[in-house]
Amino acid sequence: MHGRGDPIVPYSESQSLAVAASKARVSLFLIDDIGHVEFTAASATSAWAMARAILELLDERR
């Protein structure tokens, strides 16, 4: 999960990392309303993307 508005680490770094780890099972979720660690007003779309990321992570722990 990476915020598109991250002023410290550009989300393109996570995209590159996901490509480099292509032999592993990778899911990258880019969230519009996240900066580096803080949230702004979350939209319904961003909330849904975050929920999907969380559910996928929890599913991995089964």
User: 17: pLDDT confidence band, cut at 50, 70 and 90?
Assistant: very high
Of 29, 7, 31, 27, the closest CA to residue 19 belongs to: 27
Of 9, 5, 50, 4, the closest CA to residue 27 belongs to: 50
User: 40: pLDDT confidence band, cut at 50, 70 and 90?
Assistant: low
pLDDT at residue 60 is higher than 70: yes
Q: In this structure, what DSSP letter does residue 40 have?
A: -
DSSP-assigned letters across all residues of 6-20: -SSS-HHHHHHHHHH
Provide the residue range defining the domain that includes 36.
Answer: 2-60
Residue 39 is encoded by which pair of tokens?
């949230």
pTM surpassing 0.85?
no
Residue 28 is encoded by which pair of tokens?
């990258």
Number of domains in the chain: 1
